Chains A and B, each alone.
Chain A
Amino acid sequence: MRLAPARGLRTRLVVAFLLVAALSALITATLTFRQARHAILQRTQSAAVHDLRLQVDSLAPNLPAAPTDDDLRGFSQQLDRVGGARGWNTSVSRGEGPGLGSAGPVEASLRAAAHKGNVTVSERTEHAGVPHLLIAMPVDFAAQGSTTPRPSGLIVYAALALRTEQADISALITAAWAGAVPALALATAGALFAARRVLRPVRQLRTAAEKITSGALDTRLDVTGKDELAELTGTFNTMATALERDDAELRRMEANARRFAADVSHELRTPLAAMSAVTDALDEDAHSGHLPPDTADAVLLISDETRKLARMVEDLMEISRFDAGAAALHLDDVGLRTLLRKTLALRGWHEPDQVVTRLPQAAARPSDGPAPESQAQDDIRVRVDARRIDVVLANLIANALRHGAPPVTVTARVTRHSLVIDVADQGPGIPEDALPHVFDRFSKADAARTRSEGSGLGLAIARENVRLHGGSLTAANLPDAGAVFTIELPLAPMREDAS
């Protein structure tokens, strides 16, 4: 049997208060009760012994020197009459002899104690649920001159019921209970009040911390009082201030960096456009054979690099538009198969040696076989921004072809709420340590490869485009080999415009 630990601070406080209050009340009540009971019984006993001695002292001279049994019975009767309100019953016995009078049989232990020590002895017993006080009082002969009185062997017994005292003591117990219940109620009220005092700041702190967690960094609390909780509140406010300041600083720096990238790419675009025009013209010259072979090679190299640079600047500007929140979504109903086919055709990728597509269809058809023109009605209609999804697919497939190995498998399936497209390759997969960073800008899966064919922004742009659709793009490794990128686009309500 193990007591379950109390749950909240409030419960624990209330339980502790109640325990302490109950224990205090119990101890106080017990000590008071015992003292009061002792006083009540002691007074009764003293009064009874005193009265009995007074009467025995007074009546003893009336007895003849050698009293008969009748004399002793009369003596006992006279004593009984004196009892009056106290209502005792008395009897008289000679030494060990039988008691003469109205008192019941006397216990041997009491008789022996009185007889042996020649002292008055009292005892409390209980008969039929009623407590009784028994007194055994030996009677001495009258003192002769200066000598001490001699014992006569005569013992007077008195028995009185302690009904009044019992009632008084019961009243004490009742009073103790009547006092304990309000005390416990008061303790409960006090505990609840204390718990409230403690818990309110704690609750406020929790609410404020939750607000800060959800982004409301300007949350502050009022500091009341001077206790530890007030200090904690003050520290919390300081922390929130520091957090807000740092956050603002970071945001400002990030915005600066992004604006710088956007400005740079924008400034680079115009000269690059001019350079592209010039290199296009030079390309024709190089291909025409008018130039010396070395010069022609150099011209081709320059024009190639210029095109790459132009593409990178385009990517940078695209990313900057996303960062600035200026990317707009132009939704249209398009066929998934048409979209994918256009993407492949535009990039010059061939099925099925480079890319294998597996699209869901009503009719059972070899997904990798050439599709007839009449399949338009089988095509899945999706509502997306065709240009952006084309960019996403192209980036993913290009990435797969570049880092993995052909054939790249594009698998689409429609679930209840979303369209899921997997792009898997046959390559070695993505290293585990690079997996979390594949969508970062300019991240390189292979640190040794310093120069990449792509801009390093392809996957980042792909992810931003998917996000613009309200979907998600994730990367993982297949169990056997190869990497798989999963696009998940929601089918149902979609934002018309991201900006």
Chain B
Amino acid sequence: MRRHLIGCLTAVAAVVVTGCGVGTTGPTPAGPPASGLRVPGGEDHYAQLYFVGPFGVQAVARRVPAPAGPQRALDLLLEGPDAAERARGLITEVSTMPGRPTATAGAGSVDLYLPLPVARMNGGGLGVTQLVCTVANAAIPGGKQPPAVDVRVHEKGTPGVWTVRCNAAGTVFPVPEASSSGP
């Protein structure tokens, strides 16, 4: 009888003493692994979109089923960052426009048509940078590396075209007129 009592008390005390606090565990399974690494020499296609993060304009790779031309990349950019990207603090500075911007690929160049003048775009420079860099990194015939691709920007209601390029750091700079004539 007394032995039982002492046993019960010990068990209760043990539960109380060890039960408090968070406690530790050994390795326990917590679901499947992550995925999405590029397969070396793989056939996958990626679209590189540019969004605005806490540290400036950042590139984001999205896996796409087929090579994405400038128009496709532009469409993806206009959809904005997905949940994971938003969680990383990425936003888009491309303002809402009265129409869709369009892009046409040439040989080593892209023609970007904006439905309103750049001066009237909210967010100004960063939005334009996103648009320019995204189309410049799309699949362009001509075999040029993205920093060498000329982007000709056409503003609606404004005469003239200005040519820019996007370098590896995601910065847009104008192209000297001499080389703008191109082939």
Closest residue of B by beta carbon distance from A110: B27
| Partner-binding segment picked from A143-151, A445-453, A477-485 | A143-151
Is A113 in the interface zone, CB < 8 Å from B?
Answer: yes
Q: When the two chains form their complex, are residues B32 and A120 in contact, meaning their CB atoms are under 8 A apart?
A: yes
A152: min CB distance to chain B, Å: 5
Taken together as a complex, chains A and B put the C-alpha atoms of A84 and B83 apart, in Å, by 15
Q: For residue A348, which residues in chain B have a CB less than 8 angstroms away from its CB? A: none
Q: For residue A122, which residues in chain B have a CB less than 8 angstroms away from its CB? A: 27-28, 30
Q: When the two chains form their complex, are residues A142 and B22 in contact, meaning their CB atoms are under 8 A apart?
A: no
Closest residue of B by beta carbon distance from A48: B30
Taken together as a complex, chains A and B put the C-alpha atoms of A422 and B32 apart, in Å, by 112
Taken together as a complex, chains A and B put the C-alpha atoms of A247 and B38 apart, in Å, by 113
Is B159 in the interface zone, CB < 8 Å from A?
Answer: no
Among B33, B36, B44, find the residue whose CB has the most chain A CB atoms closer than 10 A: B33
Q: When the two chains form their complex, are residues B24 and A131 in contact, meaning their CB atoms are under 8 A apart?
A: yes
Q: When the two chains form their complex, are residues A62 and B23 in contact, meaning their CB atoms are under 8 A apart?
A: no
Closest residue of B by beta carbon distance from A125: B24
- A30 with B22: in contact, given A119-B31, A139-B36, A152-B37 (CB under 8 Å)? no
A70-123: which residues lie under 8 A (CB-CB) from chain B? 78, 81-82, 84, 109-110, 113-114, 117-123
Q: When the two chains form their complex, are residues A123 and B26 in contact, meaning their CB atoms are under 8 A apart?
A: yes
Closest residue of A by beta carbon distance from B38: A65
Q: When the two chains form their complex, are residues B41 and A131 in contact, meaning their CB atoms are under 8 A apart?
A: no
Taken together as a complex, chains A and B put the C-alpha atoms of A8 and B22 apart, in Å, by 44
Q: When the two chains form their complex, are residues A137 and B34 in contact, meaning their CB atoms are under 8 A apart?
A: yes
Is A297 in the interface zone, CB < 8 Å from B?
Answer: no
Taken together as a complex, chains A and B put the C-alpha atoms of A156 and B35 apart, in Å, by 11
A49: min CB distance to chain B, Å: 5
Is A26 in the interface zone, CB < 8 Å from B?
Answer: yes
Is B85 in the interface zone, CB < 8 Å from A?
Answer: yes
B49: min CB distance to chain A, Å: 11
Q: When the two chains form their complex, are residues A34 and B35 in contact, meaning their CB atoms are under 8 A apart?
A: no
Is B21 in the interface zone, CB < 8 Å from A?
Answer: yes
Q: When the two chains form their complex, are residues B42 and A51 in contact, meaning their CB atoms are under 8 A apart?
A: no
Q: For residue B28, which residues in chain A have a CB less than 8 angstroms away from its CB? A: 121-123
Is B20 in the interface zone, CB < 8 Å from A?
Answer: yes
Taken together as a complex, chains A and B put the C-alpha atoms of A66 and B42 apart, in Å, by 11
Q: When the two chains form their complex, are residues A55 and B40 in contact, meaning their CB atoms are under 8 A apart?
A: no
Closest residue of B by beta carbon distance from A168: B22
Task: Apart from A60-B35, A82-B87, A114-B27, list 5 A-B contacts with CB within 8 A.
Answer: A54-B83, A54-B87, A119-B33, A141-B39, A144-B43
Which residues from chain B sit less than 8 Å from chain A, CB to CB?
12, 15-16, 19-44, 46, 54, 59-63, 82-85, 87-89
> 10 A-B residue contacts at CB 8 Å?
A26-B12, A65-B38, A78-B88, A109-B26, A121-B28, A131-B22, A131-B24, A137-B34, A139-B34, A169-B21
